[in-house]
Structure 1
Amino acid sequence: MFAKAFSAVRISAALAMAGSILCGVAAPTAALAEMPYLQLNKTEPKYAAIVIDANSGEMLYDKRADSPRYPASVTKVMTLYLAFEALSEGRLKPTDRVVISPRAAAQAPTKLGLPAGDSLSVDEAIRAMSVKSANDVAVAMAERLGGSESRFAALMTLRGQELGMRNTRFVNASGLPDSRQISTARDLAILSRAIMRDFPQYYSYFSQTSFTFRGNTIRGHNRLLTSMQGFDGLKTGYTNASGYNLAGSAVRDGRRLIAVVLGGSSTAWRDNNMEDLLTTGFDVLKRRSRGERTTIAANLFEDEPRGPIMRPSSEQGDGDQAGMTIVLTDDPRAKPVKVAPTLKAAKAAAKPKGQWGVQVGAFKSKGLANEQLSLVRSRFARVIADAEGAVEGAAGGNFRAQFQGLTAEAARGACTALSAKRVPCMVLSPR
């Protein structure tokens, strides 16, 4: 009883403070008050990322983690945090109704599309936000809990400040474009950790890939829920200004990691980057448990927009992969490293450990082939080990990027690992 009374007092105080913020009388922090509208320099990459240990909160990796970015629909994690809080405190019940106002019904897609005056249960509303990312339902929930969306957004900002989100301002509940609504990868990781820590009983909502509403099956946007081992949430987001965002979490061997990726260039790129970050993070934790001193940054080649990494242009190929696409990165570790220009030179430099090899692509120029060798070695050093890089000319003018001097087992294992990351690979047997 005391807890409920205390909660009511706290909410009243928060609403009063929210009103003062909306009127320009007060602000949660000086830093937040001085936070400008976000205008990214055109030369600055949108990409930002962070990985943290969910249990300890330790940061394992960051890339521009404190740079302001647009959160897009990852915003709804905070909307859901406040909804879960209301459920846990008894201010909402799963069967309560959430009414769609004219303002909610007028929101831009993605949305459930209910007309003004219609309603849905709180449980359905939560599923619509977490699975469908329904903007109309987010506004309706904001109005249900805060009286108005603007008042609720002020509450979102205040609660974020309490959780430690020092560089976040919310002005709407959905994440629809607004230059005032900004956050950071670090703040969104703090929020993701907080929602699973404070409301574990509701976290399973984020694991759902679909839900049934009025006889229709509505499918979600988070593809990693079905494609990555141990991945079980949280939320995707996208606007033209933000790029492709994802706050994600996965658990393996009893350890849970949280990662946030902001500003991806496509859904596939974002998902691949998230999987790379989490998979490498789990590997780092395992190696640390054996006494190794290593980091995610030391093991991961970050293929973000600027600098080249070659990927197959389709899921299938004949092994040569003459047609390639380029994803750009500005990672300083993407500088070319020396590789032997020909197979003959490689054999002269050192005696190979084995007679097998792998081919990681075929290109129209020798420079691109050398670039591919550099990037594959940089990202998959443990897979390639001490193999010698070489570029061989081929009929038709293609240049084949190869690693030689592997055993049969090492060559097959390398191709398995590379192919799993969509890097072209073909095993080369002894001639």
Structure 2
Amino acid sequence: MTLKKSRLAFPHLSLFAAGCVLALAPALGFAQGATPIPGATPAAPAIVTAVGELATVPAPSLTAKAWLTLDATSGQIIASQNPDERVEPASLTKLMSAYLVFDALENKRLTLDQNVTVSEKAWKTEGSRMFIKPGSQVTVDELLKGVIVQSGNDATVALAEAVAGSEDAFAALMNQEAAKQGLRDTHFVNSTGLPDPTHLTTVRDLAILSRNLVVKFPQYLHYYSQKEYTYNKIKQNNRNRLLWTDPTVDGLKTGHTQSAGYCLVATALRDGRRVVSVIVGAASDSARVENSLKLLNWSFQNFDTIKLFDNEKPAVNARVWEGQAETVGLGSQAPTWITVPRGKGPQVKPVAQYTQPLIAPLKQGAKVGTVSLSLDGKLLRQEPLYVLNDVAEAGFFGRVYDKIRLLFE
């Protein structure tokens, strides 16, 4: 079956039979004549299947309460176990604390050389410590090393107070940012990860947060790969032992309490591709390291991440009516990457659903539909389709001619 109206052309990918396009549109909730919302942020792609389910090599057997591995470029979950079980994050909490400090730095609310006066509350905070003294002046740069390299709870509270005035106010900002990022099962009570019955998250939320951190703030990732830091004549090693085990690992954070077990969010960059792994509830430090390395290796060795299209490489060349151009490219506003089992990139099947008919004038950036990306009959994700170029309205006779032609289409 064919569909002349759509005039679909996927120049870079194979396509399902075009006849299913309009038939699928109502079922997918796509309404003809959709118009863009000015200033709106594109919706996150709907990830339907964890791509690991399509791999011939199964995920490794891990000894942890919950775990997840995610490709940072595509944002796709590769595989997981108990991804939505609420768990204690322990010092993995400091990922959000650091995120808010980085955001304050980028928005000029803090500077790295700014001095912070250490409060009595920060000095008294229990748990792992940077060993800062009450009343002393410590720079934001030094405190970040204390938080990230040494996992110092005292340094974390000092930075929380510098950003928000108090740790309670900072915790409110943490929850506000969690909601903004769509961390649906996360609630923070403090900046450090000290145990509290309502201080909870999931490995899915931790993976999303970690991916957002490395994508938005790559300029600060060097803190996470620093192996040691000396402050007040006390040298402490980074607790992430993968920094010594695997040279491609450059972060991110460990966590441990008696009730949470041993936790580790790790990330590695190999041949330009970044993967994030999350392990919580391991029985020992060595177990979290071993599990994380297994998960990273499996994710890199058995999956590819490929770019399908972007704002210069359209997903669809679509027919335009009553316009000065007969076709227009439809695609994504940012590069669209997809993670698939190794070697299966050419088998990805895209199907587009978009407004029929497309009538000029069309404005660049107008959302007109979606493209679904499937592999082995399973939907991996959906992406919005945007008009990539302006198309001006044709003259009077051109519009009339196309109106007549449409009557016979």
Q: Is TM-score (shorter-chain normalized) higher than 0.5? A: yes
The one of 127, 148, 156 aligned to 1:130: 148
2:100 partner letter: L
Instruction: Say whether residues 1:116 and 2:134 are aligned partners.
Output: yes
Secondary structure at the residue paired with 2:173? helix
Secondary structure at the residue paired with 2:132? coil
Secondary structure at the residue paired with 2:267? strand
The one of 49, 55, 59 aligned to 2:77: 59
Instruction: Say whether residues 1:269 and 2:269 are aligned partners.
Output: no
Corresponding residue number in structure 2 for 1:141:
159
8 A contact 1:257–1:281 mirrored in 2: yes
8 A contact 2:221–2:250 mirrored in 1: no
Corresponding residue number in structure 1 for 2:397:
none
Q: Deviations over 1:215-259 (max 9, x none)?
A: 543321110011024111000000011000111101112211101
8 A contact 1:251–1:257 mirrored in 2: yes
8 A contact 2:266–2:292 mirrored in 1: yes
Work out the CA distance in 2 between the residues paired with 1:194 and 1:158. Answer: 15
Secondary structure at the residue paired with 1:116? coil
Instruction: Say whether residues 1:203 and 2:221 are aligned partners.
Output: yes
Q: How far 1:46 moved relative to its partner?
A: 6.6
Work out the CA distance in 2 between the residues paired with 1:108 and 1:46. Answer: 27
8 A contact 1:196–1:203 mirrored in 2: yes
Instruction: Say whether residues 1:151 and 2:204 are aligned partners.
Output: no
8 A contact 1:46–1:242 mirrored in 2: no
Corresponding residue number in structure 2 for 1:173:
191
1:219 partner letter: N
When you count helix as a share of all residues, which structure comes out higher? 1
Corresponding residue number in structure 2 for 1:76:
94
Identity of aligned residues (%): 39
8 A contact 2:131–2:231 mirrored in 1: no
Work out the CA distance in 1 between the residues paired with 2:118 and 2:196. Answer: 22
8 A contact 1:73–1:237 mirrored in 2: yes
Q: How far 1:193 moved relative to its partner?
A: 0.5
Work out the CA distance in 1 between the residues paired with 2:137 and 2:196. Answer: 27
Corresponding residue number in structure 1 for 2:260:
242
2:270 partner letter: R
Work out the CA distance in 2 between the residues paired with 1:76 and 1:259. Answer: 16
2:341 partner letter: R
8 A contact 2:132–2:232 mirrored in 1: no
Corresponding residue number in structure 2 for 1:324:
none
Secondary structure at the residue paired with 1:201? helix
Secondary structure at the residue paired with 2:265? strand
Secondary structure at the residue paired with 1:222? coil
When you count strand as a share of all residues, which structure comes out higher? 2
Work out the CA distance in 2 between the residues paired with 1:233 and 1:114. Answer: 24
2:343 partner letter: R
What pairs up with 1:298-317 in 2 under 5 angstroms?
none
The one of 41, 58, 65 aligned to 1:47: 65
What pairs up with 1:209-220 in 2 under 5 angstroms?
209-220=227-238
What is the TM-score normalised by the length of structure 2? 0.59
Secondary structure at the residue paired with 1:207? coil
Work out the CA distance in 2 between the residues paired with 1:215 and 1:148. Answer: 28
Secondary structure at the residue paired with 1:169? coil
Corresponding residue number in structure 2 for 1:184:
202
Secondary structure at the residue paired with 1:133? coil
Work out the CA distance in 2 between the residues paired with 1:48 and 1:54. Answer: 19
Q: Deviations over 1:131-166 (max 9, x none)?
A: 000001111111111111011001101101101111
Gaps (5+ residues) in structure 1?
1-44, 294-431
Corresponding residue number in structure 1 for 2:344:
291
Q: How far 1:212 moved relative to its partner?
A: 3.1
Instruction: Mark the CA change 1:182 to 1:46 in structure 2 (over 3 Å): closer, same or farther.
Output: farther
Number of residue pairs matched? 250
Work out the CA distance in 2 between the residues paired with 1:195 and 1:159. Answer: 12
2:344 partner letter: G
1:160 partner letter: A
Gaps (5+ residues) in structure 2?
1-62, 305-339, 347-409
Secondary structure at the residue paired with 2:230? strand
Q: Deviations over 1:387-430 (max 9, x none)?
A: xxxxxxxxxxxxxxxxxxxxxxxxxxxxxxxxxxxxxxxxxxxx
8 A contact 2:64–2:279 mirrored in 1: no
Instruction: Say whether residues 1:222 and 2:240 are aligned partners.
Output: yes
Secondary structure at the residue paired with 2:236? strand
Work out the CA distance in 1 between the residues paired with 2:278 and 2:128. Answer: 21
8 A contact 1:53–1:256 mirrored in 2: yes
8 A contact 2:98–2:144 mirrored in 1: yes
Work out the CA distance in 2 between the residues paired with 1:235 and 1:123. Answer: 18
8 A contact 2:70–2:276 mirrored in 1: yes
2:278 partner letter: V
